[in-house]
Chain A
Amino acid sequence: MRYLLRRLALFVVALLVISLVVFLALRVLPGDIATIMAGLNASPERVAALRDQLGLDRPLSEQYGSWIAGLLHGDLGTTMLTGQSVAAVVATRARITFPLIILGLLVALAIGIPLGCAAVLARKARTRAFFQVLAVIGGAVPALWGGLLLILLFAKGSGILPILPATGFPRTGWHTPGQALLALVLPALTVGIIVGASIMRYTRSALQSVASTGTIEMAMACGMTRTDAVLRVGLRLAMPQLVSVVGLTFAEMVTGVMVIENLFALPGIGSGLVDDLGHRDLVAVQGELFLLAAFFLVIGLLVDLTHRALDPRLGANDD
């Protein structure tokens, strides 16, 4: 309990520091922020109006205070492009990105964990070498190339086995869940194969480090087969390490799938952030960066708490 409170307090402090960094980062940029946002050809009246609208002539502390107050009420500001609330725009994009990364991660886990276990269980040196090469190849494939390859293989209209839509997300969104899901299959497979190779390497290395401690031998000496000992004891012991890797991979994927979102024309968070930067919509960028950082912190907190719940030895050291 003490640990939880300490960790939550740390989370709040980190969140405040991040809000300050995000806020200041966009204000210490060279040049006048209102001029940047209005564009170089904007009239001085337009720049002045924008400065007034954003409250840029107020002291920094006041600007920060009102931004934080807005955040506490779920108000991240209004985008300059469409006039929509930033929170609503991010929520719309998240409905594409999060299903994509969750599906991608499920594919990655379904590929990476069994192959990682198989690599450790392989009795022949040649089989072990094969798994090693597989992991290296999987990790070395650029996302763009992997996606294009899948499009060539499976995309409707161009693929050898044209069974899946290649680009776009239905306008109806998740109101037509079948279509929405189909639109995410190829991108999720692309993400899953690449991330799966990395999960495979982590699984193999975590299991090997557990196996070298003698716990696997002990479980076998009690009456387990080698396969049982690796899968039932080894995997459980490696779980804290794997949870950390999967958690951080999940967090990184939010922006990491940007290339995939662009390739498959999916208006997700990563590609949206790049668009907003391109349009110099700094209010939106500020809100999005803060949300992304907060998301990383939440995942970090969850990983820490799960790690602790999975390994009773940590409790003895921390309390």
Chain B
Amino acid sequence: MAVVTDRLGIAIAGRQIVKDVHLEIHDGQRVGLIGSSGSGKSMIARAMMGLLPPGTDVSGTIDLNGEQVVGMRDADLAALRGAAVGMVFQNPGISLNPLLTVGQQIALPLRLHYALSREELGQRVRAMMTRAGLPEELIDRRPHQLSGGQQQRVGIACALVASPRLIIADEPTTALDSLTQRQIVDLLVSLVDEAGASMLFITHDFSVLAHATQYCYVLDAGRIVEHGATAALLESPASETGERLVMAAQQLTLHRGKGDDDGRA
């Protein structure tokens, strides 16, 4: 799915958070959006999903395969969310519904968008669990009975189960330990590629981005300050923000040498 944002601006209570953002994601492309905390990355993701809180002012355009998201009615946005665009959240421990079992959680997008029989639903859920590396015996467990990595796998399964053409991953590894981070990024990349979907991967960690994306945008104080192929940007960042983020990634020894498999990136 192709996405183009143009002159995108987001303001909350009169304070401009995002300014004049132009961003493109082409069909089947994995694009990164990097910036330090508070730079407005998550706001852009939420604007694409129509998840901004009430009272937020959005200007400019967000074109999702020819459909204009800015100003769209909530009911129309709901029809896109989950079915055409899936989202993986930063902390599944607090975003997954604590009252639903893993099976019910993963089945939710299917229930909301398709009229499937009980059997079909069960089959699709179990197949998605297998793809997401979740053992079938977890199907009746609730989020508090899972590890952080398992919770994020459930989050990924929810985002992908209805086969959306665009996945927005909002810092999906931040709440995880470094080993699980790597597994989750690998899983996300392989599932997105397998489905032939596009992905917007949001992070503040260049080392994760290098592994997950082909192209990236650098955001500073709500503005895009630099963009280009992830590998090239990692090699020689042109902006001060880019340079700072690359240096920070290089200092994180846990990730060094892991972000080099740019056959995909």
Residues on A lying within 8 angstroms of B by beta carbon are 122-125, 213-215, 217-228, 233, 236-237, 311-313, 316
Contacts and interface: CB of A to CB of B under 8 A. Distances in A.
A221 B145 CA distance: 23
Contact of A222 (B55, B75, B81): B81
Given A215-B95, A225-B75, A233-B97, A220 B51 contact: yes
Contact of A125 (B55, B83, B98): B55
A214 B93 CA distance: 9
Interface stretch (B2-10, B107-115, B190-198, B205-213): B107-115
B82 interface: yes
B104 to A, nearest CB: 11
Interface in B95-148: 95-99, 108-109, 112-113, 142, 144-145
Interface stretch (B18-26, B28-36, B84-92, B224-232): B84-92
Most chain B CB within a 10 A radius of its CB, from A217, A221, A226: A221
Given A124-B55, A218-B89, A313-B142, A223 B96 contact: no
B78 A228 contact: yes
A125 B12 CA distance: 12
B54 A218 contact: no
A221 B89 contact: yes
B83 A223 contact: yes
Nearest to B46: A217
Interface of B: 46, 49-51, 54-55, 74-75, 77-79, 81-83, 86-87, 89, 91, 94-99, 108-109, 112-113, 142, 144-145, 155, 158-159, 162
B81 A215 contact: no
Contacts of A219: 97, 108
B180 to A, nearest CB: 19
A291 B185 CA distance: 62
11 contacts: A214-B89, A218-B158, A220-B49, A220-B51, A221-B51, A221-B86, A222-B109, A223-B81, A223-B109, A223-B112, A316-B145
A225 B89 CA distance: 18
B211 to A, nearest CB: 24
B55 A221 contact: no
- The main secondary structure of chain A at its interface with chain B is helix
Contacts, number: 85
Contacts of B83: 223
A221 B81 contact: yes
A316 B143 CA distance: 12
A210 to B, nearest CB: 10
A119 B65 CA distance: 35
Given A215-B95, A226-B54, 6 more contacts: A217-B46, A218-B96, A218-B155, A225-B74, A227-B74, A313-B98
B217 to A, nearest CB: 22
B226 to A, nearest CB: 29
B144 A316 contact: yes
Contacts of A316: 144-145
Contacts of B54: 122-124, 226
A141 B99 CA distance: 38
A222 B94 contact: no
Contacts of A226: 54, 74
B27 to A, nearest CB: 22
A215 B143 CA distance: 12
B108 A222 contact: yes
B142 A221 contact: no
A217 B77 CA distance: 13
B159 A236 contact: no
A170 to B, nearest CB: 46
Nearest to B161: A222
A311 B100 CA distance: 10
A220 B75 CA distance: 10
- Smallest CB-CB A-B distances: 3 pairs: A223-B82, A223-B112, A214-B95
Nearest to A218: B95
A221 B97 contact: no
A317 to B, nearest CB: 9
Given A214-B89, A218-B97, A223 B145 contact: no
A27 B120 CA distance: 71
A227 B78 CA distance: 11
A217 B51 contact: yes
Contact of B79 (A217, A223, A227, A233): A223
A221 B98 contact: no
A219 B98 CA distance: 12
A220 B78 contact: yes
Contacts of B155: 218
Contacts of B91: 214
Contacts of B87: 221
A222 B106 CA distance: 9
Contacts of B89: 214, 217-218, 221
Contact of A223 (B46, B94, B113, B142): B113
Contact of B112 (A214, A222, A237): A222
A124 to B, nearest CB: 7
Contacts of A237: 97-99
